[in-house]
A and B are shown apart, each in its own frame.
Chain A
Amino acid sequence: MKSIKNLKNRFEQKEYLKKKIDKLKINIENWDLQDITQENLTASSLRVIKDGKLGSNTTLGESVKVKKNLIDGAEESADYGEETDLVFSKESMDKLDPVVRENYEKADAEKIFAFITEVSDYIKNKNEDIVLNLNLNKRYEKIKIDTDNKGDLKEELVNFHFDFGAPIPGGGSTLYRSFNQEKMFDEIPKAEIDEFLAEYENTYEISTPETAKMDVLFSPRSLYFFFISLQAGISGRTIFQGTSPLMNKLDKKIFSDKINVNDKPQMKNAAGRRSFDDEGIPTSQKEIINKGLLKNYIFDLEYANKMGEKPTGNGLKRTLFGEGINTPVSPNFVNPVLEPGDKSKKDLLNSMDEGILVESVIGFHSSNYEQGHFSVQAQGFHVKNGKLQGRLQDVMIAGNIYEDFEEIKGVGDEIYPNMKGYAPYLLVNNVSVTGK
């Protein structure tokens, strides 16, 4: 670390990001232990400005060779980098908290196996015929950023993630429910398990609708595709590059007035929460969509600089399917939330004469999603008169969020996590469904 701190004679500016990550994951498949996986890694990223040009490099490990390569590589990168007038973070923040590590340590293998056993037993008593898959993992992350501009930010985070599910009969895709929190789970989510098992009962029969436009009830889990498309649209990167479908749309109506989306970076228990981004810019809650109106774009340092905007604390090393030190920073949602409405899932189902409940979508990234298009296989259930008829097979839905999400029949009253953030059930009418 010392060698990286003293680089003033080599660079005009430097930004050093270091993440220490510890993980433990227990994976149960078909009721039995399949994998125990642990991870103890140190990952770092160094960005520098030399002769007015930007360079960067990343690594895993902290050996002398690794550090030397990190610095030399960043210098070489700057030799070929773009000219820049970026100013690295001047912020300071100390979010180190011994309780965070304590929470991680306290949840030892003993406690995790005990919880898994309790959940397995509860489900077995209700339905021992399903093929139960279950994951529980804990993740500790210590993030430090320091810059030559006296930027000095530190944060410790711990997350516990738990999901359970079962493949549909015949072996198809898995229906699941997932949970995130900052402390080890201590109570079985009995209501959610009961709801899941009741829904699962409808998987044994196949019921495929006729090809038509109809009501589609999107589950919270399926709506990650909505966040990914919307993120591409509001990103300072696509706005600057002229490929966003949301250019010049601030304060314009882009969705139904029932749609409200906020980025909530510090939401309790959210797996993606952060106090500052990967460039050392403090995060803050942002209104993205208010009653269907587009309210804000998101920027990292680079695109804020290019567009004369302020960075919004959304500069993260995240990709479509995950995150990693090796990924360059770009504007990303920290923790998007599609805000809840006033309808229960039951109310929403009851308002459907005929339609489908989409539990998950397959293949969204094959579509032109940056433009809002989706053309995906729908996994879920056929619905008639508010009742689930059976599982879908060979059903596709297609459209564009900026057209189809103008007509929303109802928004669920509770939010649940998905791969990108949190969403409620969302009932959209008149969506193109390809079935029989």
Chain B
Amino acid sequence: MKDKLKGIFDTEKLDYGDLRHEKNNETEISIEGKEIKNIKNSYREGGHIRVYNNGSKAVGSFSELDEAFKSRDNLINISKRGSEFQKESIRLKNAEVIKDKVFTEVNDDPRDYSLEEKKDLVEKYNELALKQKHVVNTRFHYRQFYSKRYFINSEGSEIEYDLLGSYITGQIFAKKDGVVQTKRVSFGAYPEFSNLVDREDDLLGEIDILQQLLDADPIKAGTYPIIINPKLAAVFIHEAFGHLSEADIIKNNPAFREKLQYGTKMGNEILTVVDDPGLEGTPGHYKYDDEGQKGRRTELIKDGILNGRLHSRETAASFSEELSGNMRAVDCQYTPIIRMSNIFIENGESTKKELFESIENGYYLLNGKGGQTSGDQFTFGAEYGYRIENGCKKEMVRDINISGELFSTLQNISMIADDLYFNELGGCGKGNPMQLNMFSGTGAPHIKLDKANVGGK
């Protein structure tokens, strides 16, 4: 492969070029109800080239290695045409030339287990779930992804690196008196496979919640003070703030660039938000991004003040800010885009008990159920919640979605507990076409919002 790519950027027809080639192994096991729907070890390979020429950029994916040079020439030609249309030249931030080989170190490697062993593990959880009262259906999924990547650029960088992770997710359906409710369960292994085994008690705990949801009432729409648990607060900071810290989202939006200047007060001084790919054992851990840059810890909000941003070389040049190493592609056919590595809210100084005691009438909302961001507007779901009355947890509620606007919502974070927790499973969707990234982690302690817009009937 390296021989075939040798000299691909030995041309004077481009200002900058880089290429990433991937050999990817994926294991998937899907079980629905009592049936195995999908079980396979698959292999794929492909590459992606980026060409910068006369201030314009063209990128392309190919599946055949023999097509790499042809793809490069096509991109050079089209970028030339693009440069005639380009008004403001696209520049890249100067970066270090890196030659390195770095591979994941793992004690309990998921690749050492057979397909049958993995199937047996997922079947065990599935059968346990199906035995429980009111459970009518299950969807369990095991995914393991190993990507061996080779990056070269026209400046002389040459990096070999990899990504390894696996997880088990389950969606469990329960039905009672015509009401169907679902509950998700997820176990993550980044990369230690041992994290996925002996999780029966965790699974039964989630099913117990599901059974209670069948009798819970939908939440009443309105604006309330809320406490959100770490699993949900982590999704909240990812959706509500994290995406707007990705510089490619705001690069060409003058209003956001104006609003999101360093030094802007984003929240109370108790709020510090960090992105850090250096945290081993988390979904978003890596040394190099897919643009050949070192992943770095970035304090996005420090003591309530906007302090950092996630960058590519292109956006770092455009904003005249520091590189952060956050350009990532989920698979060989995709171009890298700016992604959060592990975003989290730093611990506060309050206790969870103090958060509860501060609320007369409100809600305690738990666990993320997906979210979406559009500009500064966000929506995310909570799997379940409890009404709070005079500081005490009362009856369970369901069908909970929260929406809001970034800037006012962050100002509403009034208390942060001291129990930081990282979600086991990574996940984020971004881009067009959508790139679903399992290597994006989130974390948070319990937090309190003085008011939040909760949807419902």
Contact = CB atoms under 8 A, between A and B. Distances in A.
A173 B259 contact: no
B41 interface: yes
Interface residues of chain A: helix, strand, loop or mixed (majority): mixed
Main secondary structure of the interface of B (DSSP, over half): strand
A69 B42 contact: yes
B40 A66 contact: no
A58 B40 contact: yes
A85 interface: no
Given A32-B87, A432-B457, A243 B180 contact: yes
B75 A38 contact: yes
B71 interface: yes
Contacts of A373: 399
B401 A66 contact: no
B67 interface: yes
Interface residues on chain B, size class: 35 or more
A394 B374 contact: no
Given A36-B82, A57-B42, A321-B429, A29 B252 contact: yes
Nearest to B65: A63
A366 B378 CA distance: 12
Interface string A11-39: 00000000000001010011111111111
A397 B60 contact: no
Nearest to A27: B432
A110 interface: yes
Interface in A44-91: 55-63, 65-66, 69-70, 73-74, 76-77, 80-82
Interface stretch (A164-172, A194-202, A268-276, A405-413): A164-172
B74 interface: yes
A328 B335 contact: no
A73 B41 contact: yes
A221 to B, nearest CB: 12
Contacts of B404: 394
A243 B259 CA distance: 46
B401 A326 contact: no
B457 A399 contact: yes
B364 interface: no
A362 B64 contact: no
A229 interface: no
Contact of B45 (A61, A73, A245): A61
A61 B64 contact: yes
B32 A40 contact: no
A135 to B, nearest CB: 8
B60 A39 contact: yes
B332 interface: yes
Contacts of A80: 36, 39, 115-116, 119
Interface string B426-457: 00010011101000000000000000011111
Interface string A241-262: 1110100000000000000000
Contacts of B255: 131, 167, 169-171
A58 B87 contact: no
Interface stretch (A143-151, A335-343, A345-353, A374-382): A374-382
B456 A375 contact: yes
Given A31-B87, A43-B63, A377-B379, A38 B58 contact: yes
B230 interface: no
B60 A38 contact: yes
B241 to A, nearest CB: 14
A73 B58 contact: no
A396 B453 contact: yes
Given A59-B43, A363-B401, A396-B221, A328 B37 contact: yes
A258 to B, nearest CB: 23
Nearest to B249: A171
Interface stretch (B96-104, B287-295, B342-350, B365-373): B365-373
Contacts of B182: 368, 370
B429 A40 contact: no
A226 to B, nearest CB: 17
B86 to A, nearest CB: 5
B319 interface: no
Contacts of A398: 221, 399, 401, 455-457
A385 interface: no
Given A80-B116, A170-B376, A368 B399 contact: yes
A60 B332 contact: yes
A109 B81 contact: yes
A204 interface: no
A365 interface: yes
Contact of B63 (A55, A61, A397): A61
Interface of A: 24, 26, 29-43, 55-63, 65-66, 69-70, 73-74, 76-77, 80-82, 109-110, 113, 116-117, 131, 133, 135, 167-174, 211, 237, 241-243, 245, 321-322, 326, 328, 360, 362-368, 370-371, 373, 375-377, 379, 393-394, 396-399, 432, 434
30 contacts: A31-B87, A35-B58, A36-B57, A36-B79, A40-B60, A40-B63, A41-B62, A43-B63, A63-B45, A66-B44, A69-B43, A80-B39, A82-B36, A113-B84, A135-B432, A168-B375, A241-B33, A241-B136, A245-B180, A322-B434, A328-B30, A362-B374, A363-B371, A363-B380, A366-B401, A368-B181, A375-B400, A377-B377, A377-B401, A396-B453
Given A37-B335, A370-B182, 10 more contacts: A31-B87, A38-B60, A38-B75, A81-B39, A171-B376, A362-B373, A379-B377, A393-B405, A394-B453, A396-B403
